[in-house]
Structure 1
Amino acid sequence: MAEGRAGEATIGIVIPLYNGARHIADTLRSVLAQTHSALEVIVLDDGSSDDGAEIVRSMLGDPRLTLVQKRNEGIARTRNAGLALLAAGTKHVIFLDHDDLIAPDLCARLCDVLDRRPDAVGAFAIADWIDADSAPLGDGEFARFMRQREIVRDGRVVPVAPGEDATLPELFLANHLYPPSGILLRRGAIDAIGGFDPSYRVADDWDALVRLSRLGPIAALDEILVGYRRHGANASGDTALNVRESRAVWARTYSSADNSPADRRALQAAWRGMQRHKFRVKSEAARRALRSGRLLAACRLQLDALAHLALIRPLRRWGR
């Protein structure tokens, strides 16, 4: 069931909503206050049990806003459903989490980046943590994390310069480009990769960025323009799930038939460079443990280091 009607827009903002009543009004206010006003905003209530949909319904006086209520299918399928509902003329899309806040000029600034970069499939801004009451959290800790990107060059792991594009070899190894709330994607590019993979529960956005980066770079806007809300209900806090899905991204990306010969060479170099880096780091930790008399810890660390050296490619079973 859809309610409301979006007008002609250049940017679509897709917001999956699941039991987000506490924050959805603040999130929508940050969206509807954008200086780039040509927006199409679709909130998809994914079978919530709270009154979040009613809160959205109370804001439907803005003609750019649409509410869709559907059965629970998970975030990837919900993002795909929102993508399918965007008007044909909508050129760009942001997949906004229902509890995040965006600065008033986020859309305009990222549009400017893409206008200058026809080769890029998207553009991203920096996020920083906010708490449940929208106050800053962590003294800039998450923004520092986003800026601490790494890539393998000449066999060594090196920092990525602030403002440098994100490309396939970097995104394959790790995703520092989240939350998706701060990423503006070209509609044609996300359509070209078939949207989000519903086999993932928390890594669907990372997997999509990796697949997108085969088509072109993702340009950086090195400014904090997103409030990334942290609270007890964040799905990304499940460590075991994150490990399983990280391994799946590595295995599926490495062995994908979509890789060109150049992609395969870049992924191989990135993987081997990172494993050698981890071998060196953990071997040094083992030596420190041995010098301090912690023989058992030293043995465990060195065995772990050797395992990285032996891991010449991601295991295929990780991708199943």
Structure 2
Amino acid sequence: METPPSAPRVRIVVRTHDRPQLLARALDDIVEQSYQEWQMVIINHRGDRATLDDVVKARADRFPHECLIVDSDHPIGRDAIIGLGIADADTEYVAIHDDDDTWAPDFLTRTVSWLDTHPEHVAVAVKTDIIQERVDQDGVIILSQTPIRPPFARVSLFDLVHAAHVPPIGYLFRRSAIESAGGFDATLSVLGDWDLMLRLAVDGQIGYLDGETLAYWRQRPQSEGALANSVIGDLDLHRQTDRELRDRALREYIERNGIGGLLYIARYADELYAQSRHEAWLRAREVEAHVTERIEEQTKHLEAMIAQYAHHYSVFPSLRRAMSRVFHPRRGGYS
């Protein structure tokens, strides 16, 4: 009698939309993980289901647990649909694996081990590389690979307020922490991961695995349509949503604390900036005056040298002519 498989500890949520070539690579990446106690949920957002089924069936015998597929044609944002894959999860951990990103084979092994030994952490992030690539009929061509690292090799609330330094592919989340933080905001079309990370970081500490790169955020700057990245294709939308999220947070803060402190900080920062600019201007004038003085000194020295050499070379031809008369008298002599 076969031993029944153990219950999955990780739910992997895969978002996809009519990118079968990339989805196939993502599924191959997942089944090659050294850690196998996972269940996958594929969110098919307005994509062709028959094509997706073909990609999944070709690999289904390598899944440790049944793969769930959720068809979504909701008019909600790309980030919000992640919530559809987490809604009924009963696993300890959750990972977000977009169909165009990849992991190193030990990503799950390392991150699960970290959260197992750090129960106080709400999530753990890993070193991540940005890979720029081009996809065509011949396959995937890597154009560049650049590491991205959070400041001081840690994910802090201090730095998250500025920006998300690690993309979703570089995280493993504790499911209970996501629920406590309120989950993904279904109203957001983009930056839902950053919004969630801010709330998670308020609730608890986020670990960081330093060392080798374990995740790869893949981008296609030359691609359009389904193959494009939202962060590149919808740059204006990202900037607009960033402002909206900050405005929302400011309103919440002001409702609790009033606006006085913010007005003081804004004016104080403005005056510090103005003072710094004035000091920089004064220093620039000092440097300019010093440089001008040195140029004038060097110019006078150069003019003296030119005058000296000009005098030398104007006298030399006269001496040469005189010496020529002494040592080389006129030919023919006197009769």
Same fold (TM over 0.5): yes
SS of alignment partner, residue 93 of structure 1: strand
Determine the structure 2 residue equivalent to 1:67: 69
2:159 is the alignment partner of 1:170: yes
SS of match in other structure, 1:177: coil
TM-superposed deviation, 1:57: 3.7
Alpha carbon RMSD of aligned pairs, Å? 3.6
SS at 2:185's partner residue? coil
Which letter does structure 1 place at the counterpart of 2:239?
V
Aligned partner letter, 2:216: G
Is residue 17–residue 52 contact of structure 1 (8 Å, CA) maintained in 2? no
Residue 189 of structure 1 aligns to a residue in which SS? helix
CA contact (8 A) 2:129 2:215 kept: yes
Deviations 1:249-304 (A, max 9, x none): 222234436x999xx9xx97xx869x669958x959x96xx99xxxxxxxxxxxxx
Per the alignment, residue 209 of structure 1 pairs with 197
Contact in 2 for aligned 1:56/1:67 (Cα 8 Å): no
Q: Match of 1:105, as an amino acid?
A: D
CA drift of 1:219 comes to 1.0
Partner in structure 1 of residue 22 of structure 2:
23
Identical-pair percentage: 25
| 1:1-320 to 2 correspondences below 5 Å | 8-49=7-48, 51-61=51-61, 62-64=63-65, 65-72=67-74, 73-86=76-89, 88=90, 90-130=91-131, 131=133, 132=135, 133=139, 136-140=142-146, 143=147, 146-147=148-149, 149=150, 160-162=151-153, 164=154, 166-178=155-167, 180-222=168-210, 223-231=212-220, 232=223, 233-237=228-232, 238-256=234-252, 279=273
Which residue pairs with 1:305 in the alignment? none
**What are the superposed Cα offsets for residues 223-257 of structure 1, whole Å, 9 maximum, x if unpaired?**
31112111121010122112111112222234436
- The verdict on how the C-alpha distance between 1:23 and 1:277 changes in structure 2, with shifts beyond 3 A counting, is farther
Residues 121 and 217, structure 1, Cα contact 8 Å, conserved in 2: yes
TM-score normalised over the length of structure 2: 0.67
Deviation at 1:193, TM superposition (A): 1.9
Q: CA deviation at 1:136?
A: 4.5
| Alignment TM-score, normalising by the size of structure 1 | 0.70
Distance 2:104 2:59 in 1: 19
- The total of aligned residue pairs comes to 258
Deviation at 1:139, TM superposition (A): 4.2
SS at match of 2:213: strand
Gap runs ≥5 in structure 1: 1-5, 150-159, 292-320
Tell me: CA distance 1:244–1:66, structure 2 relative to 1, closer, same or farther (3 Å).
same
How much has 1:117 moved relative to structure 2? 2.1
More displaced 10-residue stretch of structure 1: 228-237 or 65-74: 65-74
Distance in 1 (alpha carbons) for counterparts of 2:79 and 2:11: 17
- Which ranges in structure 2 are unaligned for 5 or more consecutive residues? 286-335
Amino acid at match of 2:208: A
Greater gyration radius: 2
Counterpart of 1:127 in structure 2: which amino acid? T
